[in-house]
Chain A
Amino acid sequence: MTSADTHRTIDAVWRIESPRIIAGIARMVHDLGLAEELAQDALVAALEQWPASGIPDNPGAWLTAAAKHRAIDHFRRNKRLEKKHQELRHQHEGQQRVPDYDSALDDEIGDDLLRLVFTACHPVLSSEARVALTLRLLGGLTTAEIARAYLIPEATVAQRIVRAKRTLTENRVPFEVPRGEELASRLSPVLEVIYLIFNEGYTATAGSDWTRPALCEEALRLGRILAELVPKEPEVHGIVALMEIQASRSRARVSVSGEPILILDQNRALWDQLLIQRGLAGLERAQKLGGVHGTYTLQAAIAACHARALAAEETDWERIAALYAELAHLMPSPIVDLNRAVAIAMAFGPQAGLALVDQLALEPALQSYHLLPSVRGDLLTKLGRFGEAHGEFERAAALTRNARERQLLLERAEHAHAEQNRR
């Protein structure tokens, strides 16, 4: 095995093992930032030793033991320091008992990971910080990988992570799983982080590519982990179902040359049936657990309407419109209303949809949202009002930050313009 091979294997082992190691150490030292540093030290040791010694039989156990030794060293150092202070002050009483680190590390692993999830997504952190910390600690992604995924400088990510860890320490955020009533409320920022990561991958808001699949896969993995950790929470199954059904269309929604393909024009044979089956099963689980009125479960139910239609014409738009109405009721948002307008247009004709879109035209939150003029342009095209449609597509193209999408919108504007001139 060459040294490059060894390094790639170490990367793989690290990604598999690091969340558990960090979580286990964090429980010993009660400090997530310190735990990550100690685990990183163990990784550095592996990178130094394994190329020469070969990869140990149980690499995960090796890394865990190495990190644990460093944690114990850290305590000894602190204890020695403490002892010196005490001697200086001639105070020999009140010495703290050293906790049983071994049994602390061998406790229930699932609980450790959960502690890690809830701490990395703690409400004291900004959502950007939560995303970075979650990708780093749970996803095992390097700072460089996160920077690449979000098209931001590596230094920015590094700084974000350092600041997040400091915030956790300064606020004395305990490394624990919220219990009872608190669990449900603390779950929502966790789900938000996962969905933010997914969406950034599914519809890249910036850059030249329409999607960044690595982020989608990462979000899916995090969601699946969470569904195993808190299997009784319906919305967790809802969000995983939503992501799986959306991800099932990944291959179909981008052309070979990279242009986006809208759902009704997609080749459904390219939809990933394994993900669809998993998604539908997850949705059923969420609904059985009483998640019928959860926002993620509702969105998954909408996505499922598309997934179940073997052809675009078979889509149950009336049901989709009804689900959007319920979603709008639970989570009032002009964006949900816009989607409902699209569904209504499909179910009851473009005029009915346009009436709703026009009501949204003055909505302040939608003033710079490119999909409003894009949807309006689409409905106007269907109604044969090409002159107005042309203007709407151009406005939409000016508003989007995604290069591929801009191109698509400009093509539609061009098309509307040509149609108008033909008349």
Chain B
Amino acid sequence: MRFLMMVKAPENSGPPPKELMDAMGKLADEAMKSGEMIETGGLAPTAAGSRVRLAGGKITVTDGPFTEAKEVFGGYAVFELKSKEEAIERTRRFMELHEKYWPGWEGETEVRQMFSMTQQAATR
């Protein structure tokens, strides 16, 4: 099963401490070595982004930053795993690093299953 994990947090949290970056690097390295993480990346500030919205038959483009949003997506990872429980366990470890190395930080990681080869078999 393929999962997309997207982490979101308030945009004004500031840069993460170096200890956290190191620990996350180590975690990512392990996840690569276990053959389970197949893609990961970080997102630039919302100031560099835009929103394209369709509503009432009209398309509007709003440039960032998205100041009204409480939390915005900052990074993502794609994993190939055997179960949702494994996805949650992997995510829990990622969040524990934040707890340990970035006191006071609050945020959320959304775990979503993606359609992939197993999905095809499951829906059959």
Contact = CB atoms under 8 A, between A and B. Distances in A.
B78 interface: yes
Interface stretch (A7-15, A28-36, A167-175, A311-319): A7-15
B116 A12 contact: no
B32 A217 contact: no
Contact of A250 (B38, B83, B86, B117): B117
A217 B3 CA distance: 13
Given A221-B35, A223-B35, A225-B35, A15 B82 contact: yes
Interface in B67-124: 78, 80, 82-83, 85-86, 88-90, 96, 115-118, 120-121, 124
Contacts of B38: 224, 274-275, 278
Interface string A200-237: 00000000010111101100111111001100000000
Secondary structure call for the A interface: helix
A247 to B, nearest CB: 6
Contacts of B34: 16, 221, 225
Contacts of B89: 9, 12-13, 16
A81 to B, nearest CB: 38
Interface stretch (A86-94, A146-154, A251-259, A334-342): A251-259
A110 interface: yes
Contacts of B35: 220-225, 228
Nearest to B120: A251
Contact of B118 (A8, A217, A221, A258): A217
A111 interface: no
Nearest to A57: B96
A226 to B, nearest CB: 8
Contacts of A217: 80, 82, 117-118
B80 A110 contact: no
Contact of A209 (B32, B96, B121): B121
A216 B119 CA distance: 13
Contacts of B11: none
Nearest to B123: A256
Contacts of A212: 121
Contacts of B32: 224, 228
A414 interface: no
A57 B100 CA distance: 12
A258 B124 contact: yes
Contacts of A256: 124
Interface residues of A, number: 34
B39 interface: yes
Given A11-B85, A12-B86, A12-B88, A225 B117 contact: no
Interface in B3-48: 32-36, 38-39
A274 B77 CA distance: 12
A272 interface: yes
B117 A251 contact: yes
Contact of B120 (A11, A214, A250): A250
B111 to A, nearest CB: 13
Contacts of B117: 211, 213, 216-217, 247, 250-251, 272
Contact of B116 (A211, A225, A272): A272
A120 to B, nearest CB: 16
Contacts of B96: 57
Given A250-B116, A251-B117, A275-B38, 20 more contacts: A9-B89, A11-B83, A11-B85, A15-B82, A16-B34, A16-B86, A16-B89, A209-B121, A212-B121, A216-B117, A220-B35, A221-B36, A222-B35, A225-B34, A228-B32, A250-B120, A251-B115, A251-B120, A272-B116, A274-B38
Interface of A: 8-9, 11-13, 15-16, 57, 110, 209, 211-214, 216-217, 220-225, 228-229, 247, 250-251, 254, 256, 258, 272, 274-275, 278
Q: Nearest 4 A-B pairs (CB), nearest first?
A: A224-B35, A250-B117, A12-B85, A221-B35
